[in-house]
Amino acid sequence: MKFDLGIIGGGPAGYTAAFQARKSGKTVVLFEKDLIGGVCLNRGCIPTKTILHSAEIFEEMKNSASLGIEASDVKIDFEKVMARKDEVVSKIRKNLELALKNSGAIIVKEFAQIVDSKTIKAAGEIYECEKIICAIGSEPAIPAEFRHDGKFILSSDDILNLKTLPKSIVIAGSGAIGTEWARILSSFTVDVTVVEAAERLLPSADFEVSKRLERIFKTKKIKFHTSTMIQNIEIAKTPAPADNNSESGKPLADEKSESPILRVKLSSGETLQTDIVLFAAGRKPLEHKKIDGVKYIGDVSGKIQLAHFAIKQALFESGDIQFCESLIPSVIYGCPEISWVGKREQDLEAGSFQKSVYLVSALGKSHCDNCTDGFIKILSRNGLIIGAHIISKEASALIQQIIIAMQNNIPVEKLKEVCFAHPTYSEGIFECLCNLK
């Protein structure tokens, strides 16, 4: 069988490349060994944000009395939360599969191998392709010594299959995945402890964002240890005696139950007791041989592991658009959202930039919404924005305004001429810009 384009991997990188190639009339075969939509749709972005929505509603309902809404006896039906997550994912997947079929791309649901730069082999068949795109993605990276078992020691894939909420969890890593799960589970009243090897939470963020996240974690009673590594995890049948040095005062597991208890030894010498451990400390590109002439896009490219980056790479590969690799937004979901783009303050030489910080609590809309926590921080040089860091409700949307300005070199002075609607969080962008020249 002959095709203009052969794509291995049906995640955001692969399916975007397929749609684009079909738009320009190319014949396309796409191989997917598991589920169309890849990690993003089936085990990443979409399922986590769906569960997060339930967690946020639960927390809002518990705290709604101050808004004049008495919601008594608010309970979590975790089975339903997870069933809804499955429904959302499967609905989107069906639509995506249908759209791919309608586009005229041939979908082969098989494991595929690249033989050479023009040949793919799958289920014993040979596919000759003028061009090959490899978009096989990444997988969780859990150090072998921690004996990942999917039951007590979990990856970000396993946690999506939880049947019941644990009483307690230790999360290794405070990047996007670790922080989002810490927020989800603490909203569901799980006792959460985050262990981060770097000296700050969310180490890839601007240092002031990390500091504010520490405050948010404290308010939400999410415990955390920075500059700390997990050294060892022991699965024990019974809890440690009462004088153990676990930091949690309350019982973490039912002593009468048969459920084992995990003892997590930290590099600080402390031992934590917990029901489960989630490893959220990194993902690695799926193993592959680099073959000359084949294009590697998305997570497997080993660059930025984000769905929107994968999509942009696919569009670029199709020859349709240019994009700027240094203007890829990062977003951490939960309440309040966190987003950033461009330079961080710690990357810049003192005196080489201007900085403006505007508190979200100064915005009328934040009081209307009872979401006053956060700030908008913009860094500029020579009248142009070089970085922005936002903690706020709607931060995921706000950051786009900044990216549009940065990508088009719109000067700060010109941006100030834009009329921002009232009352909105966007007004915070305007107010922040007003302190810059």
Residue numbers of the site for ligand FAD (CB under 6 A)? 8-14, 31-34, 38-40, 43-45, 48, 111-112, 135-138, 156, 177, 286, 298-300, 305-308, 310
Considering the complex, what minimum distance in angstroms separates the CB of residue 288 from ligand FAD? 8
Considering the complex, what minimum distance in angstroms separates the CB of residue 136 from ligand FAD? 4
C-beta closer to ligand FAD: residue 9 or 428? 9
C-beta closer to ligand FAD: residue 281 or 300? 300
Rounded distance between C-alpha atoms, residue 437 and residue 423, angstroms: 25
C-beta closer to ligand FAD: residue 263 or 283? 283
Considering the complex, what minimum distance in angstroms separates the CB of residue 302 from ligand FAD? 11
- Do residues 193 and 344 make contact, with C-beta atoms less than 8 angstroms apart? no
For residue 90, give every residue at least 6 positions away whose Cβ sits within 8 Å of its Cβ, in sequence order, or none: none
Length of the chain: 437
C-beta closer to ligand FAD: residue 298 or 374? 298
- Do residues 294 and 269 make contact, with C-beta atoms less than 8 angstroms apart? no
Considering the complex, what minimum distance in angstroms separates the CB of residue 311 from ligand FAD? 8
For residue 349, give every residue at least 6 positions away whose Cβ sits within 8 Å of its Cβ, in sequence order, or none: none
Considering the complex, what minimum distance in angstroms separates the CB of residue 435 from ligand FAD? 31
C-beta closer to ligand FAD: residue 252 or 310? 310
Considering the complex, what minimum distance in angstroms separates the CB of residue 114 from ligand FAD? 9
- Do residues 32 and 40 make contact, with C-beta atoms less than 8 angstroms apart? no
Rounded distance between C-alpha atoms, residue 360 and residue 367, angstroms: 9
Give the ranges where 347-416 is alpha helix by DSSP (H): 364-368, 395-407, 412-415
Rounded distance between C-alpha atoms, residue 28 and residue 133, angstroms: 11
C-beta closer to ligand FAD: residue 137 or 366? 137
Q: If you write DSSP's letter for every residue of 202-217 in order, what string do you get?
A: STTS-HHHHHHHHHHH
Rounded distance between C-alpha atoms, residue 274 and residue 154, angstroms: 13
**Residue 313 CA to its chain's centroid (Å):** 18
- Do residues 255 and 263 make contact, with C-beta atoms less than 8 angstroms apart? no
Considering the complex, what minimum distance in angstroms separates the CB of residue 6 from ligand FAD? 11
C-beta closer to ligand FAD: residue 12 or 374? 12
